[in-house]
A = this chain, B = another copy of it.
Amino acid sequence: MIGGDGIGPEVVAEGLRVLRAVHPKVETTEYDLGARRWHRTGETLPDTVLDELRGHDAILLGAVGDPGVPSGVLERGLLLRLRFELDHHVNLRPVRLYPGVRSPLAGDPSIDMIVVREGTEGPYAGAGGVLRRGTPHEVATEESLNTRFGVERVVRDAFRRAARRPRRHLTLVHKNNVLTKAGDLWSRTVAEVAPEFPDVTVDYQHVDAASMFFVTDPGRFDVVVTDNMFGDIITDIGAAITGGIGLAASGNLDPSGSHPSMFEPVHGSAPDIAGRQLADPTATVASVAMLLDHLGHQEEAERVEAAVAASLAERAGSGSGAMSTRERGEDLAARAAG
């Protein structure tokens, strides 16, 4: 458990409550990481802590950060470091409009897709450099690193997921008309893996067009596979169209199981409402469902998923939106324990 900062510890506590409700035997260790630790010690992720984390089955993370930490310190030093060190190459983000939840899109369209975002390469590699910083001649570069190995494993994972879904449709999102080198690698890889999944239909959209279609016609997407940066952007559009970032769950997976996968709500630490039991733990609880599914506890995962869906449907009907973080967690735990 990495509660983190702001509302992080509050929502993680409820995630754990629901986890225990369906799986009483879970053992947990708490790690103090995030903005508070950085302010106190200057550390983001000590190697010893990373080594300990490697020994666990999964990580549940709340949210990290506060306005006092310079941009990039915790992102590169903690969140991305965990994703890279633990080889979280499948960054899985369901984009689903639950029955009863209002979309900002007129007519509440039906939205049920899953985005498989590559998590360990691309523009997130941290490569690049700066010359003559602070002068009129400054040059800054960012380098997107893409490998056949890295692309192929995430493409294959996305095909597998598509093959298990009713619509069996996979969309590659990239910008291969401009990023011709990486785009060509992605497009060729999809084309070469496709014959292994003859039941899956394959589509391609440029990232700009896909971003538009997320708003004008989200129903056309089933499984989407995309690069790390494009995935970051389109999954936030996905969160926006399905009721907001407060409901969005995510899993940072190493599907091989060699490293612990990490589950986290997509929202931030929301320091303005921290410590007041105002945060909605639903996204964390939905992330717990993903954790259970990843560890092979499908039946328990489905119970947690169903608890989330039922709670959201009931809220819509009754306007019972005003539960405290803890009350919401207890309600979800009771439903999941059922």
Contact = CB atoms under 8 A, between A and B. Distances in A.
Given A71-B183, A76-B178, A104 B215 contact: yes
Nearest to A76: B180
Interface residues of A, number: 69
A54 B229 CA distance: 36
A68 to B, nearest CB: 14
A182 B142 contact: yes
B244 A216 contact: yes
A209 B140 CA distance: 23
B80 A178 contact: yes
A234 B136 CA distance: 28
Interface string A110-154: 000000000000011011111010111111111111111100100
Given A106-B104, A240-B216, A139 B147 contact: yes
Contacts of A104: 105-106, 215-216
A153 B52 CA distance: 49
Interface in A212-256: 212-213, 215-216, 229, 232-237, 239-241, 244-245
A176 B71 contact: yes
Given A128-B181, A211-B240, A138 B147 contact: yes
Given A216-B104, A236-B209, A145 B139 contact: yes
Contacts of A216: 104, 240, 244
Interface of A: 71-72, 75-76, 80, 102-107, 123-124, 126-130, 132, 134-149, 152, 175-185, 187-188, 207-209, 211-213, 215-216, 229, 232-237, 239-241, 244-245
Please give me the 3 A-B residue pairs with the lowest Cβ-Cβ distance, nearest first: A138-B148, A208-B236, A215-B240
